[in-house]
């Protein structure tokens, strides 16, 4: 079972103090939240999986425990320290240091690759609705038909309503997280 180590907590607090808008929480995501996010990705569906904002790697770990091979995971992390931590913890995972809000440039080498799923730990509620919408719509365009875009947040409602041609549903409420979180799943047909 995944746990948050002292090193992960230290790295998280360091990131929170240096860039609070980019971290967006008072504690790392709990293993319970990470497992709830990972459950939305079917390991039997072939193709790469994209992780936006892996932070300390708790969701990365849950994806691997779920049966997603590390070589299938591409993690985009803006923070250099978090990117280094994830790369060291999960040698098979491709870690890209870049801006998840600019997927076109960050994934320029993967322009035609449809993802089997995208999971996001980005603190979307710290950003304006227009920026949230652009990120989610851009992510949905990178997915294979019917594949999930999974986003957690601390809000009672999804970060944005379902874009045209897509759906959104709450997949879980995780009380064993500080603060409690909701897992939202967007899909386009």
User: Can you list the domains of the chain with their CATH numbers?
Assistant: 6-188 (3.40.50.150)
Mean model confidence pLDDT for the chain: 90
Count, residues in the chain: 189
Q: Where are the alpha helices (DSSP H) in the chain?
A: 6-18, 20-23, 31-38, 58-66, 80-89, 103-106, 129-141
Q: What percent of the chain clears pLDDT 70, i.e. is strictly above it?
A: 86
Q: Alpha-carbon distance 8 to 45, whole Å?
A: 30
pLDDT mean over 52-58: 96
Residue range 43-68: mean pLDDT, rounded: 97
């Amino acid at each position: 079972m995944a746990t948050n180590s002292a090193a992960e907590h230290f790295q998280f607090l360091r990131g929170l103090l240096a860039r609070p808008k980019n971290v967006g929480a008072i504690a790392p995501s709990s293993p319970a939240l990470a497992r709830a996010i990972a459950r939305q990705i079917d390991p039997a569906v072939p193709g790469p999986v994209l992780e936006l904002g892996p932070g300390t790697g708790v969701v990365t770990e849950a994806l691997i425990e779920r049966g997603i091979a590390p070589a299938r995971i591409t993690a985009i992390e803006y923070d250099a320290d978090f990117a280094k931590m994830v790369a060291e913890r999960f040698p098979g995972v491709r870690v890209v240091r870049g801006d998840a809000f600019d997927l076109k440039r960050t994934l320029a080498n993967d322009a035609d690759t449809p993802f089997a799923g995208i999971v996001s730990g980005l603190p979307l509620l710290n950003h304006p609705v227009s920026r949230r919408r652009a990120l989610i719509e851009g992510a949905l365009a990178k997915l294979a038909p019917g594949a999930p875009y999974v986003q957690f947040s601390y809000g009672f409602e999804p970060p944005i309503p379902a874009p045209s041609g897509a759906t959104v549903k709450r997949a879980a409420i995780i009380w064993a997280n500080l603060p409690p979180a909701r897992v939202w799943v967007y899909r386009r047909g």
